Amino acid sequence: MRQIYLDHNATTAIHPLVVEAMQPYLHTSFGNPSSVHWAGRSVRNVVEEARKQVARLVNCEPEEVVFTSCATESNNTAIKGVAVSKRMKGKRIITTAVEHPSVLMPCYYLEHFGFAVDCFHVDGAGRLDLNALAGTLTEETILLSVMYANNETGTIFPVQQIGELAARRGVCFHCDAAQAVGKIPVDFKACNIDLMSFSGHKFYAPKGVGALIVRQGVKLPPLLHGGSQERNRRAGTENVAGIVGLGKACEIAADTQAVEAARLQKLRDRLEQGILAKIPDVRPNGDLDHRLPNTTNLSFLYVDSDALLSCLDQAGIAVSSVSACSSGTLKTSRVLEAMGVAEGTPMGTLRFSLGRANNEADVIYVLEVLPEVVKRLRQTLH
């Protein structure tokens, strides 16, 4: 059976050149980068080379790169760290209702320690009202955490304007860029970001490695205390092979991102337009003018998303699903709920996220299979 993977916002296959670059550090070059002898020194150098590759992709200084295990760790380090270091200044944290749980959960955790968290709302297309956002930043606000691009809808927030706003108000700005880095150009300096998180496995590096970019001068206690690795910002022996892989994936993204984004956008648009033309009662979600080039999020009215996902899976098509249903009996997406999409008619929602392995033939196959599946499921529902 054909296998078509359209869930690249969940995770990606490691790029063959990344596998090749990592190989020696899984086997022959095994030194600990903290060791001063020859075995450690050679490995220390490759970690520093990877730091430069990351810095080049996101336009920051190499010294600002802290290697972590994933975006979840980076988000926790940023949010809890700012809370600890700025607790004497204020106790308010502003974030958005559509953030990933790895941002929302640490924020809610901090409520147990007296911090107040405001989840700023989005409109029906998942957009933020920047004027209203500006109004929420008070003297008491110590942190503004806003994602770069939404994992479910692909909606891209105006991060540069948000960064300017935070800088004008003297509020620390954390940006979860897990869905943006490697897919679209991300400029840490130009966006006035103080802290930025991402994960390697979203753009062809292995799982288990990520980064937190910490602007020079931002005081941030570590989440993990212990050794002095990562200039005392993240204790624990470095995941050398993973770090080398992340560096290589950044280098590849810097070289290929623009061309690949244009190719994926064309494929994504073909897929989306094909679905809208062939299947009645389908609604695209998110800000269609500002979204990731590889992502489309579509609600299919009168269909259960779990059934939809399962039928597609049986045909070898891997996508991600979220139900949106006003009855509350189905699992609902927080993101779609925040956008008001979940109100009214029952519907199943699918996220298609394309990547480097996808081509025209994949789109044609989905356009053959999906209309039949939706038709069949709608018949059984009525």
Ligand X SMILES: Cc1ncc(COP(=O)(O)O)c(C=O)c1O
325 is catalytic: yes
Structure tokens at 238: 């470095």
Name which of 151 and 349 has its Cβ closer to ligand X.
151
According to CB under 6 A, which one of 14, 47, 65, 71 is a site residue for ligand X?
71
Rounded Cα gap, residues 285 and 296, in angstroms:
8
Q: How many CA atoms lie within 13 A of 232 on its CB side?
A: 3
Nearest to 248 by CA among 60, 69, 72, 56: 56
Q: In this structure, are residues 202 and 11 in contact, taking their beta carbons and an 8 Å threshold? A: yes
Name which of 9 and 299 has its Cβ closer to ligand X.
9
Name which of 72 and 349 has its Cβ closer to ligand X.
72
Q: Residue 356 CB, nearest distance to ligand X (Å)?
A: 18
Q: Residue 137 CB, nearest distance to ligand X (Å)?
A: 22
292: contact with ligand X by CB under 6 A: no
Rounded Cα gap, residues 356 and 316, in angstroms:
18
- Per CB under 6 A, contacts with ligand X among 110-169 are 147, 151
Nearest to 290 by CA among 137, 184, 372: 184
53: contact with ligand X by CB under 6 A: no
| H-run or E-run covering 39 | helix 38-58
251: contact with ligand X by CB under 6 A: no
96: contact with ligand X by CB under 6 A: no
Q: In this structure, are residues 103 and 145 in contact, taking their beta carbons and an 8 Å threshold? A: yes
Cα-based torsion angle of the residue sequence 275, 11, 21, 360 in order, rounded to the nearest 10 degrees: -10
76: contact with ligand X by CB under 6 A: no
DSSP lists the bridge partners of residue 324 as 347
60, 70, 172, 325: which one is catalytic? 325
Name which of 69 and 323 has its Cβ closer to ligand X.
69
According to CB under 6 A, which one of 178, 211, 250, 308 is a site residue for ligand X?
178
Q: In this structure, are residues 171 and 137 in contact, taking their beta carbons and an 8 Å threshold? A: yes
Q: Residue 147 CB, nearest distance to ligand X (Å)?
A: 5
Q: Residue 31 CB, nearest distance to ligand X (Å)?
A: 27
Residues interacting with ligand X, by CB under 6 A? 70-72, 100, 102, 147, 151, 176, 178-179, 199
Q: Which residues are catalytic?
A: 325
